[in-house]
Amino acid sequence: MTQRTIPFLGEKAYCPFYAVAPDSGLVVASVLTTAQELGLRVAARLVAGQAVVLEDGAEGGIVLKRQKDVEIPLPKDPAQSEEDTPSIRYRASYTRTHPLRLETGVGYETCVLHRDATMYAAPNHWGYLLRLPGSSEKQFWARFSHLWGRVTGLPARPAWVPSLWNMGLKLELIVPLQTFGCEGWRIDPRWDCPSLDSAQDRGRAAGWREVMKTIVLVKGDE
């Protein structure tokens, strides 16, 4: 398996996969080490918000660093003043796995994961959908459906899920993450998004509200 090298305090760890949101920071990183303690120290550095540099990539050094304060802009209400800038604000949270002994019996894997990439993703947060090699189509669609429902707070029939995915990608409500060794996407939680046109700041761009209206109109009770 291709891996990225993590030089750390005179020793080396390895990263078989990671995902990063380019405009905010770390979503997931897996760390392989021969010593359990080394993996814990690398993970602790990531959780604490310190940078971890990966080497050996064709792109050059990749810096992994946790997200901190997150702000998701919301559309303005016509009754709000020009100074009001509504948004969803929260502080990113992470979880770390206990070091897992590798099947070879030599070494450990420790994973640092954004909580909004888990089944416990919070409502109105960016959701992060990950797909590791070997996962089935059925598992992928089940994870997407669950995560989408968690962050948007909207219900959806199972038959609507592929349409939610396709329309979400088209409207950039679902956008790819920067990844290595896996696939990943960020899911927008907003029912309505601010207009990208500065002359229409009070307008609303298409969010999941419009997607759902379209799907219900087209598919009905399927």
Q: Which two tokens stand for residue 51?
A: 């940078």
pLDDT band at 137; cut points 50, 70, 90: very high
Q: How confident is the model over 198-204, as a mean pLDDT? A: 43
Answer with the residue of higher pLDDT: 177 or 156. 177
Q: What is the spatial distance between Cα 127 and Cα 190, in angstroms, rounded to a whole number?
A: 11
Which range (66-80, 129-143, 158-172) has the least confidence? 66-80
Residue 30: name the closest of 100, 125, 91, 106 by CA.
100
200-220: average pLDDT: 78
Mean pLDDT within 13-31: 95
The whole-number pLDDT of residue 81 equals 64
Average pLDDT estimate for 126-138: 96
Structure tokens at 48: 């604490």
Q: Has residue 1 got a pLDDT over 60?
A: no
For residue 200, the model assigns a pLDDT of 43
| Mean pLDDT over the full length of the chain | 89
**Which pLDDT does position 198 carry in this prediction?**
45
Residue 55: predicted pLDDT: 84
Indicate whether 139 pLDDT > 90: yes
Q: How large a percentage of the chain has pLDDT more than 90?
A: 74
Segments making up each domain of the chain, as ranges: 4-219
Handedness of CA 214, 136, 152, 187 (dihedral sign): negative
Pairing of strands 192-194, 204-206: antiparallel
DSSP state letters, 160-201: GHHHHHHHHHHTTSEEEPEEESSEEEEE---SEEE-S-GGGT
